Chain A
Amino acid sequence: MPRIGVFVCWCGSNIGGVIDCPKLATDAVNLPGVVYSTEYKYMCSEPGQNSIIQAIRDHRLDRVVVASCSPRLHEETFRKTLARAGLNPYLLEMANIREHCTWVHNKEPEKAQAKSLALVSRAVAKANLLEPLFPSSIPMTKRCLVIGGGIAGIQTALDVADAGHEVILVEREPTIGGNMVKLDKTFPTLDCSACISTPKMVAVSTHPNITLYTYSEVAGVDGYIGNFEVTIRCKVSYVDHTKCTGCGDCQAKCPTKVSNEFNLGLDTRKAIYIPFPQAVPNKPVIDAANCRYFTTGKCKICQKICAAGAIDYEQQETIITEKVGAIVVATGYQLFDWAAAYGEYGYGRFPDVVTGMHFERLVNAAGPTGGKILRPSDQTEPKTVVFVKCVGSRDPAKGKEYCSRACCMYTAKHAHQVLEKVPGAKVYIFYIDVRTPGKAYEEFYQRTISDGAVYVRGRVSKIYQLGDKLVVRGSDTLLGRPVEVEADMVVLASAMVSSGGIEDVARMVSVQVDKDGWLQEAHPKLRPVETHTGGVFLAGTCQGPKDIPDTVAQASAAASKVSGLLFREELATDPMISTVNQAICTGCGLCVPVCPYQAVELKTITERIPGHAPRERTVASVNSGLCQGCGACNVACRPGAIQVKGFSNDELVAEVDAICL
Chain B
Amino acid sequence: MKAVIDNLRREAVRLLANDEVKMVIGYGEGTDASRTTPYFASTPEQSAAFTWGPLCANNLAKHLLDYRYEDTRLAVVVKGCDSRGINRLLQDLQFPRERLVVLGVPCGGQLDRNLIAPEIPPGARLQGIEDTGKVYVLVTDKGRLSFPKDRFLMPKCYLCETNMPVVADFMAGDPVPSPAREGSDRTAEVNEIEALDVAARSSFWDNEFSRCLRCNACRNVCPACSCKECVFEQAVPGWQQSGIIGSKANSLPENMVFHLVRMFHVIGRCVDCGECERVCPVDIPLRLLYRKTLKDAHILYGAGTPGMSTEVQSPLSEFSPEDPEEFM
Contact = CB atoms under 8 A, between A and B. Distances in A.
Interface of A: 503, 506-507, 583-590, 593-596, 602, 607, 615-618, 632, 636, 638-640, 650, 653, 656-657, 661
Given A617-B69, A638-B265, A590 B317 contact: yes
A585 B319 contact: no
A640 B226 contact: no
A586 B94 contact: yes
14 contacts: A507-B321, A584-B229, A586-B92, A587-B93, A588-B93, A593-B313, A617-B69, A639-B229, A639-B230, A639-B231, A650-B236, A653-B244, A657-B244, A657-B245
B70 A593 contact: no
Given A587-B93, A661-B243, A594 B231 contact: no
B227 interface: yes
Nearest to A510: B321
Contacts of A588: 92-94, 226
Given A638-B231, A638-B265, A640-B231, A586 B226 contact: yes
B220 to A, nearest CB: 15
Contacts of A596: 319
Nearest to A129: B237
A430 B175 CA distance: 75
B98 interface: no
Interface in B211-244: 226-231, 234, 236, 243-244
B15 to A, nearest CB: 24
B242 to A, nearest CB: 11
B98 to A, nearest CB: 14
A315 B70 CA distance: 52
B93 A593 contact: no
Contacts of B321: 503, 506-507
A356 B319 CA distance: 41
Contacts of B231: 638-640
Interface in B61-78: 69-70
B182 interface: no
Contacts of A616: 69
B70 A615 contact: yes
A618 B319 contact: no
Interface string B234-266: 101000000111100000000000000000010
B246 to A, nearest CB: 7
Contacts of A657: 243-245
A583 B246 contact: no
Contact of A584 (B69, B93, B227): B227
Chain B, interface size category, equals 20 to 34
A170 to B, nearest CB: 22
B311 interface: no
Contacts of B93: 587-589, 602, 618
A661 B93 CA distance: 39
Given A587-B93, A650-B236, A636 B317 contact: yes
A639 B227 contact: yes
A152 to B, nearest CB: 24
A391 to B, nearest CB: 28
A586 B227 contact: yes
Identify the interface centre among A587, A589, A657: most chain B CB within 10 Å of its CB: A587
A179 to B, nearest CB: 27
Contacts of B174: none
Contacts of B70: 615
Interface of B: 69-70, 92-94, 226-231, 234, 236, 243-246, 265, 313, 317-319, 321
A593 B246 contact: no
A1 B280 CA distance: 42
Contact of B228 (A586, A594, A656, A661): A586
A588 to B, nearest CB: 5
A616 B96 CA distance: 13
A656 B236 CA distance: 15
Contact of A653 (B94, B227, B246): B246
B319 A593 contact: yes
Given A638-B231, A638-B265, A653 B226 contact: no
Nearest to B70: A615
Contacts of A587: 93-94
Given A587-B93, A588-B92, A639 B228 contact: yes
A661 B244 CA distance: 10
B317 A593 contact: yes
A594 B317 contact: yes
A220 to B, nearest CB: 15
B245 A584 contact: no
A586 B227 CA distance: 6
B318 A593 contact: yes
Contacts of A584: 227-229, 234
Contacts of A618: 93
B268 to A, nearest CB: 11
Closest 5 interchain pairs by CB? A639-B227, A588-B92, A594-B319, A638-B265, A584-B229
Identify the interface centre among A586, A632, A656: most chain B CB within 10 Å of its CB: A586
Contacts of B229: 583-584, 639
Contacts of A607: 69
Identify the interface centre among A585, A607, A638, A661: most chain B CB within 10 Å of its CB: A638
A418 to B, nearest CB: 44
A180 B275 CA distance: 68
Nearest to B243: A661
B159 to A, nearest CB: 27
A282 to B, nearest CB: 38
A585 B228 contact: yes
Contacts of B234: 584, 639-640
Nearest to A661: B243
A128 B304 CA distance: 45
A593 B319 CA distance: 6
B245 A653 contact: yes
Contacts of A640: 231, 234
Nearest to A638: B265
Contacts of A595: 319
A615 B72 CA distance: 12
Contacts of B92: 586, 588-589
Given A586-B226, A602-B93, 4 more contacts: A584-B227, A586-B94, A588-B93, A615-B70
A618 B321 CA distance: 27
A583 to B, nearest CB: 7
A633 to B, nearest CB: 10
Contacts of A615: 69-70
A173 B276 CA distance: 61
A617 B94 CA distance: 10
A224 to B, nearest CB: 19
Nearest to A506: B321
A433 to B, nearest CB: 31
A640 B236 CA distance: 12
Contacts of B94: 586-588
A586 B265 CA distance: 14
A475 to B, nearest CB: 36
B100 to A, nearest CB: 16
Contacts of B319: 593-596, 632
Contacts of A506: 321
A639 B318 CA distance: 18
A284 B7 CA distance: 72
Nearest to A615: B69
Contacts of B226: 586, 588
A593 B323 CA distance: 13
B182 to A, nearest CB: 38
A615 B68 CA distance: 11
A464 B205 CA distance: 68
A412 B5 CA distance: 89
B34 to A, nearest CB: 35
A590 B321 CA distance: 16
A48 B167 CA distance: 68
Nearest to A582: B228
B149 to A, nearest CB: 38
Nearest to B237: A650
Nearest to B69: A615
